[in-house]
Amino acid sequence: MSNLVSGFSKFTKEQKIEWLSEIFLKGNKDANQILRLYWNSDEKLQQLHDDFIENTISNYYMPYGIAPNFVINGKHYVVPMAIEESSVVAAASLVGKFWSDKGGFRASVLSTVKVGQVHFMYGGSKTDLESYFLSKKTDLLKSTETITENMRKRGGGILEIELRDKTDELKDYYQLHVTFETKDSMGANFINSCLEAMAQNFEKEDIQIVMSILSNYIPECLVQAEVSCEVEKLHPTNGLLFAKKMKQAVDIANVDPHRAVTHNKGVMNGIDAVVIATGNDFRAVEAGVHAYAARSGKYKSLTACDIENGVFTFSIQIPLALGTVGGLTSTHPLSKLSLEMLQNPSAKELMQIIAVAGLAQNFAALRALTTTGIQEGHMKMHLVNILNQLEASQEEKQNITKQLSGKTVSYSGVADALKTLRA
């Protein structure tokens, strides 16, 4: 059988697996069984999953957990998180409880403006182009009326259309820069449909449309969150020292991009986990957030820390484009359940919850780094993962965990300890 295949998308799922097994997994006798093991026994639910993407052969499961004890703007939440990394959910849970009796988290949405662009090339007179744009602006809005009708009923729609000259950066390059309000929808399909309609209406002989697409950089779709308390409440023995080290950790992330990237990765541990659990687009969120971290021309910390008049304040301000209707949020059973768990939030409320999750995760990471070190919590879960790889029994797990308590964990060390125990 050739390694090249025609009409693969028309194969049944069984035929796809058979082809894969014969060509690329022929040395793995268990491959077929493993792929089928993750099929859902409910045929209707499995079909729903199969329809999400193309060429499905199985499901790839991620752990789905909850972090309780979050208080945000005086309201109690349990936060759903889908993530494979050890310690993230535990850390979020601990921080949620830590701040619950100190006033909880405060969050607010600063703006919800989203962006789309029609990119085009034009080599003629800028004055003529500006005149053409002004003459077409009303028509551009009219060309989208059928698309925006329902969004306008909900209070959203197109906010503004601008002509932007980018010829200083690229010869003959201009764009229509369009801003949108999409209410409780993330709005990607809505925005792209509007842009394509505008492009068709705007294009003419001397205007060459290159592409029409939304932007995932949304510095005007902002949310902020913070916590604060007297410094002595931060630590049982030396709150001021703890507060100073936390601030120093943030200061370091603001001057050293190597540290800033890892610092912000910790923020995204919390953000991505909730974004995925609620059926939102974590790749779009990641791209936009990291671009925002570099908006000054240097990549910096997403979080801020201040100590003033004996009060410690830890905060975050980030762009988040999220939805609570449409897409996976309306079709994936666990996404719908996640939103129900969060008491069916609006898109604005979800922005606040997710910003808090990122702030909490960063606080947890910095607290560990500046006190006991990051490895203590990681090693506990790392040991569990290694023991599972080595197929240890429950009794063996308990014995090895006790034996290696407080020690550095490595695969070879655990394997040797298990071998000795079994001998």
Q: Which of 13, 290, 332, 378 is catalytic?
A: 378
331-369 in b/e burial notation, b at 16+ Cβ within 10 A?
Answer: ebebbbebbebbeebebbbbbbbbbbbbbbbbbbbbbbb
DSSP label of 10: G
For 224, the enclosing helix (H) or strand (E) is: strand 222-230
Q: Which of 181, 226, 281, 349 is catalytic?
A: 281
Q: Residue 121: is it exposed, middle or buried by C-beta count within 10 angstroms (0-12/13-18/19+)?
A: middle
**Using H for helix, E for strand and C for coil, what is the string for 288-309?**
HHHHHHCCCCCCCCCEEEEEEC
- Dist. CA 80–CA 275, nearest whole Å: 9
Cβ pair 277, 334 in contact under 8 A: yes
C-alpha to C-alpha distances, 221 to 76, 108, 327, 405, nearest whole angstrom: 25, 12, 20, 46
What is the three-class DSSP state of 410?
Answer: coil
- Dist. CA 374–CA 378, nearest whole Å: 7
Whether 378 sits among the annotated catalytic residues: the reply is yes
Q: Which of 85, 130, 139, 340 is catalytic?
A: 85
β-sheet with 106-109: strand ranges across: 106-109, 222-230, 311-319, 303-308
Cβ pair 259, 252 in contact under 8 A: yes
Q: Residue 201: is it exposed, middle or buried by C-beta count within 10 angstroms (0-12/13-18/19+)?
A: middle
Q: Which of 265, 348, 382, 397 is catalytic?
A: 265
Whether 308 sits among the annotated catalytic residues: the reply is no
Our CA angle for 167, 171, 174, nearest 5°, is: 45
Residues identified as active-site: 85, 265, 281, 378
